[in-house]
Amino acid sequence: MEVSWFFAESVSLLKSSGSDDHHSYVIPLFVVLFLACIVIGHLLEGNRWLNESISALAIGLCTGCLILYTTGGRSSHLFVFNGELFFNFLLPPIIFNAGFRVKKKQFFRNFLTIMLNGAVGTIVSSAIISLGSIHFFGKMNVGPLKIADYLALGAIFSATDSVCTLQVLNQDETPLLYSLVFGEGVVNDATSVVLFNAIQSFDLTNINTAIALKFIENFMYLFVASTVLGVFVGLLTAYIIKKLYIGRHSTDREIALMILMPYLSYMTAQLFDLSAILTVFFCGIVMSHYAWHNVTESSRVTTKHIFAILSFAAEIFIFVYVGIDALDIEKWKIVSDSPGTSIGVSSILLGLILVGRAAFVFPLSFLSNLTKDSPDDKLDFKQQITIWWSGLMRGAVSMALAYNQFTRSGHTHLRENAFMITSTIIVVLFSTVVFGLMTKPIVKIFLQCSIHEPSSPSSKSLGVPLLGYAVDDLEADYQTSSFNIPRPTSLRMLLSIPSHTVHRYWRKFDNSYMRPIFGGRGFVPLFPGSPTDPH
């Protein structure tokens, strides 16, 4: 009885205009839901069938049902969606942590394939979803959608959520495939947001060749300028920490600097109308390569966990909110007179997602294989199936973009917008739960050998260590003066080390020019308490 009163009071206070006391009820509720997600996530740690995304959605749905019950079925709109809250506070830690955690060697070794799938593939998928929506929705009783809405749908449903697949793949046993799925996921999210913002900034009522070329030009400018800004802020952070070495006096200050500088890059990108998501992603990559090695050992551990915690909290908040808002009775009442149309729209969107992803994964994988000399570096058909499947789930980014496009402060009274929001909720719930539960058997069927059998020692593409060191690590380490590792003498090891690769030339440039200026592994200042201090 007390629990029912608590939920009812939370909803009534939230709905009451001019009330500032609802936070005293809503915030504790979300804290309880966070704690539930943490405990259930721990219990599901060894279960690869379920994951924290599914559990957070389930908790949100159960909470929404309880709120509906306590309010007599009137409403479950507990928390009003705020686009600024999402884009300014929730999305930045998710994208930054993705860039900070990315395995740079695998990422840049497969950079062409990742960019093809993550950037070019997202554009192809977006175009197919937009064109399909125009073709099918025009024949249905959906409502008067604008051309910008159709294009926005393409960007919204091209944003993937590969968490389920990454939990099944083993990074040590299938590092190539893991890096491709993970790398494509983060580039895909950034590209989707860039594409979405570019669509919103253009008047697309009358599309012609000039507008299309201007749109492409604007998209490329956003992509390049945002990347350069992220790299610049990352290098600036590394240089400041290396020169001042703030940690010798206060680790708190250098931790604060590591946290605030990426956020500064994000807000600066927004100030200049660039892609803040792309900026903070590349800022994370650069900071993990240089700045993170310049701080004290205790600050390394602390910052790594802080970034992970912020990202985890933001993702859980979004999924819990989606679960609660999925039962918002206001949106469903608007489309309740046409349940068949709502199911039809959702089914069409799911079909377009399947077709749109297949339209670029297999052709681009074929083109990528043409550039590879070694058979071990090429993607076979089973691996391509896994990559295709990994991008079928839709999650937080899709929901946020949909709310941004089709609602105002989380509410909508337009029939066509209600159809789009409810269909997005159905697609996210269906793809996360159904596709997520099917991920383990799908991956097990197509990658059974890769998951359960050890890789061949001679397979360089899988990054298997030789004598305890990966090939790239060994090559980098004997080029770095601070490491006293003997050069390889085995003929197989000598043949395994690439002689003329972009990665090798970058290593030489990085060790000769970049690291002496910006720090990094092997170039940390010898101050008391620094990672290289013998005491």
What confidence tens digit (pLDDT) does each residue in 424-465 have? 989 988 998 888 888 888 888 887 644 433 333 333 333 333
d(CA 96, CA 390): 21
pLDDT single digits (tens) 172-212: 777 778 888 888 887 888 788 888 888 877 766 666 777 77
| DSSP 8-class letter at 141 | T
d(CA 240, CA 518): 8
How large is the average pLDDT for residues 288-313?
A: 91
Is 1.20.1530.20 the CATH classification of the domain at 83-449?
yes
What is the residue-averaged pLDDT of the chain? 77
b or e along 111-134 (b: 16 or more beta carbons within 10 Å of the residue's beta carbon)? eebbebbbbebbbbbbbbbbebbb
pLDDT band at residue 518 using 50, 70 and 90 as cut-offs:
very high
Phi first, then psi, for residue 5 (nearest 5°) are -65, -40
How large is the average pLDDT for residues 363-369?
A: 89
What's the confidence (pLDDT) of residue 354? 96
What's the confidence (pLDDT) of residue 410? 60
What percentage of the chain has pLDDT greater than the value 90? Answer: 21
What's the confidence (pLDDT) of residue 484? 43
Within 91-145, residue ranges assigned H as helices are 91-101, 104-109, 111-115, 121-137
Q: Domain locations in the chain?
A: 1-71, 83-449
Of 356 and 521, the structure prediction assigns the larger pLDDT to: 356
What's the confidence (pLDDT) of residue 508? 86
How large is the average pLDDT for residues 263-276?
A: 90
b or e along 418-443 (b: 16 or more beta carbons within 10 Å of the residue's beta carbon)? bbbbbbbbbbbbbbbbebbeebbebb
Above 80 in pLDDT, residue 267? yes
